[in-house]
Amino acid sequence: MLFKRILTAIIGIPVAVYVINYGQWVFALAVSLLALIGWHEYCKAMRKKEIKTGFGSGFISIALFMACAWLGNAEEMMFVLFLITFITLLNIVASQQRFTLQDAAFTLLGINYIGILFSYLLLLRYSDSVALLTPWGSLAQGAAYMWLAFIGTWSSDTLAYFVGSQLGRHKLCPAISPGKTVEGAVGGLLGSIIGTTVFSAVLKLPLVHAIMLGILVGLAAQLGDLTESSIKRFAGVKDSGQLLPGHGGVLDRFDSILFAVPVVYYYARVFF
């Protein structure tokens, strides 16, 4: 398992570096594909509980969310959200109880969870085209913000794992994720602060913002992890999918990022 995780990281990290830094249609297409695969994983997990999610309508809605986010059209995203809510609720009435209120609730939950949160990756990446000078050359500001979220999240996950496995004694949320510990959560928070502080120094961001981002990303990333764990526990599945050897599915790998990126997006809009 560890070998598969390392091999996937060796292949995945250079691909992520290229896709994030290049941006343009490549990044939009990659994020859109990941979101749609994540939707498939979610629907498959819900079928384990005999919940009928509107796969087709959700697929189209998430694709539209991605298109609106790429173009930076927040108002159109709200229209898509209204439209899918209207159609889903209409389906309850028209289906004569074949599509229940529970089915509708979990359909809308999945579309919001996956479609809206993945769209923030595009909103953040294309938020600003100003170039920043780094030791490795110029980097688009949107890409720099994206790396703040990714590095903070990866640092949080890494230190949480090592601290939790070595020092973990007190369970954090045993009903949701028995392996998580309070010590690991504290380690994850420290890891996020360290990661964002180091990268912020490269970007020459003020230390106070680096620390605040580290705290917020660390908290958001762990909330995202626990949220995905609660969905999997509800559905009775170990992993959301098998796309990434050693890491599970798309939702397994991006659960923390999905919560961290909106935090960085709004923080950057307010303070930068």
C-alpha 224/C-alpha 172 separation (Å) is 14
Residue with tokens 């490549």: 26
Q: State whether residue 244 is helix, strand or coil.
A: strand
Pairing state between β 137-140 and 171-173: unpaired
Residue 3's pLDDT is 53
Residue 130's pLDDT is 73
| Contact (CB, 8 A) for 195 and 218 | no
Q: Could you report the per-residue pLDDT of 7-36, keeping only the tens digit for each? A: 666 777 788 888 888 888 999 999 999 999
All residue ranges of the chain with pLDDT < 50 are 2
Tell me the percentage of the chain whose pLDDT exceeds 90. 71
Pairing state between β 177-181 and 131-134: unpaired
Look up residue 160 and give its two tokens: 């949480």
Which amino acid appears at position 165 of this protein? S
C-alpha 167/C-alpha 72 separation (Å) is 44
**Three-state SS annotation for 117-185:** HHHHHHHHHCCCCCEEEECCEEEEHHHHHHHHHHHHHHHHHHHHHHHHHHHCCCEEECCCEEEEEHHHH
H or E element in which residue 12 lies: helix 2-22
C-alpha 46/C-alpha 154 separation (Å) is 28
Residue 244's pLDDT is 64
Report CA torsion sign: 111, 125, 206, 136. positive
Residue 246's pLDDT is 57
Residue 245's pLDDT is 61
